[in-house]
Structure 1
Amino acid sequence: MQTQALFREDAYAEGNSAVVVESSEAGIVLDRSVFYPRAGGQPGDTGAILWEGGEMPVADTVKAPDGSALHVPAAGAAIPPVGAKVTAKLDWTRRHRHMRMHTTLHLLCAAMPGIYATGNQIGADKSRLDFDLPDPPAKEWVTEKLNELIAGDHPIGERWISEAELDANPGLVRTLSVQPPRGAGQVRLVRIGTEEAPIDLQPCGGTHVRRTGEIGRVEVVKMESKGKQNRRIHIVLAEDAK
């Protein structure tokens, strides 16, 4: 039985009750969880799993072979038994920073229409996006454009389309390195802006904020060459800029 991915239903849920369905030193699988398993450049969530008489710090969350969320225990931590009723509790501060950063990378795609991303990595402190971009604009221009989009306080939503619809609209895929997950028959689209006039619309399985204004100011701190055409753009939240 796959874990019910509660983070898809509500990215702002900070915890949930659950039952342990698999338990080993490799990790804990719950019947339902708000924890995001590492994928698509977004880190796995951390936090804790609590039960009567015990607590397991979660050092990482990854995907089990069947796609379930595998909550990886910290070294030496006690683990709950199969069948235990537990509470899963996120490190919410870290997760929310990932949501702000992830949404910023979508806006970076919006700032450079028609340019394909070749790689990405989301972090709580710094994130980066690589582009197939031989002549990049100045980092000051990118910073200004991103903050203009953020200040617009655009709504963020989602909808699902069939894999056939995605195949008929290949331009929705903005990344060359990471392709949307297939096999379930449906693909999740994340939209920034209105349905009638989206600023950005692309397949994504990660977590995002509800409105761009929630991100706060950001800063492009570095742009570097990673090949003949590949350019890497490093971004931090403005409160962390030095």
Structure 2
Amino acid sequence: MPENRRTAVVTGASSGIGAATARHLAAAGFHVVLAARRLDRIEALAAEIDGTAVACDVTSEESVAALAAAVGDRLDVLVNNAGGAFGMAPVAEASSDDWRRMYEVNVVGLMQVTRALLPALLASGAGVICNVGSTAGRVAYEGGAGYTAAKHGTKVVTETLRLELFDQPIRVCEIAPGMVATEEFSLVRFGGDQARADAVYDGVREPLVADDVADAITWMVTRPAHVNIDELVIRPRAQAAQHKVHRER
């Protein structure tokens, strides 16, 4: 990693919020290590922002260990963005495989990356961990039990980690976005069904976009070292709550 530059790791950096966050952090002066499974995408983005691309599957301990080795002994910021939702079946019809995948990436993967990079974050003397949660980690909704359970897990892991590290030179934050229109999130959730994905944002004139969340993350991790943003809930103006969304017809 370059000397005399702050370094940040962003997981799930191949698209959406992760890619936007990498760009925003690079613009703020960080050398960004982009971690994701799709190496071709992060290599292109790394070339664009003068960052470093590392192929990483956060659900694999071996892959995460390779990421830690690439980062080295010192790290300033970790953005645990890798996550995802799979399906919207009610509990009575739920897919066990989908639930396991959601828990593995949103909770176990977050833990594995944090565990592996924590020594380097502590070595910086003022490290920051920002976990990307969701408003789904605060409110239940029909058809979302697997995802809401996983994102509640993200929230509780964040809270627990802050307690465990209270006397260490590190800050632990969570950002919880509401409706964010990205190119892949809903499309992945509905197994590539573009019509169902588009319906999520139907009539919502201005949902959040990835840059809105990336801007907020960058603000959170660049506060003075004594300032911890425990949690930041960010929604579009049109979304008052999970079930209360203004849709223009």
Q: TM-score range by the shorter chain?
A: under 0.3
User: TM-score by structure 2 length?
Assistant: 0.22
Larger relative helix fraction:
2
Which structure is larger by alpha-carbon Rg, 1 or 2? 1
Larger relative strand fraction:
1
